[in-house]
Amino acid sequence: MHCLGIDIGGSGIKGAPVAVSTGELTADRERIETPQPATPDAVADTVARIVDHFSWEGPIGCTFPAVVRKGVVFTAANVDKSWIGTDASALFEQRTGRPVVVMNDADLAGVAEMRFGAGRDVPGQVVVITLGTGIGSAVFNDGVLLPNTELGHIQMDSQDAEELASGRAREEDDLSWKAWGKRVSEYLHNLEDLLWPDLFIIGGGVSKKADKFLGYVDIRTPVVPATLLNNAGIVGAALVAATS
């Protein structure tokens, strides 16, 4: 079975059809810059463009960078505030004419990593952290997801952690990989003191450059890069579309 996965981020919206039995993308990704401002109508138009690009007729899964309950958006840290209270699933279904499942972006990236990636067959508590425009988190216990954890908003030096340790923060503060890696280390240390996980998986846009900063992360918990890199959200979105 194939499903279309679409990953909605603060800087880009990308999608591809996925073979859900293997997690493999069956066509090259289509990526479009996230519209600014990222209002519901503008994002829905972009999602529809990706659906049309693949001439897609089947089920669709979408990630979204916010707390999402039953398709409804409850927060908007990195998109337009008008998203709060919007039924994203209904909006995308109306715009595309296809059934659409919407869930938190980090949760779906985590689902993919636990099924096909670095978390596969790992028992105990696994925490997936996505580092991009913001910081996303997904917490699993023996493979079971605790949704909408939003651990990117814990406090570091009286600020949201994502203001200091996200990929965007590295670029905006013009940090070296070493300096940023130490910030990421501090952030993960705070999380491990709260959760005592068995494994951290680092995903998001910087995961393909893990060799540049993970060496500066010094915590007691094992830390590994995401296997699916920045495709994890697409794959996880397709997986939930196939099972919904």
Domains of the chain: 2-107+232-243 (3.30.420.40), 121-226 (3.30.420.40)
For the entire predicted model, the pTM comes to 0.94
233: buried, middle or exposed (CB in 10 Å: 19+, 13-18, 0-12)? buried
CB atoms within 10 A of CB 219: 17
pLDDT digits (tens, 9 = 90+) for 177-212: 999 999 999 999 999 999 999 999 999 888 889 999
Model confidence at 231, in pLDDT bands (50, 70, 90)? very high
Rounded percentage of the chain residues whose pLDDT exceeds 70: 100
Q: Where are the beta strands (DSSP E) in the chain?
A: 2-8, 12-19, 24-25, 30-33, 60-64, 68-69, 72-73, 100-104, 125-131, 135-141, 144-146, 155-156, 159-160, 199-203, 223-225
Q: Is the pLDDT of residue 146 over 90?
A: yes
Q: What's the pLDDT score for residue 192?
A: 97
Compute the distance between CA of residue 161 and CA of residue 159 in angstroms, rounded to an integer: 6
pLDDT digits (tens, 9 = 90+) for 78-118: 889 999 999 999 999 999 999 999 999 999 999 999 999 99
Q: What's the pLDDT score for residue 2?
A: 95
CB atoms within 10 A of CB 189: 14
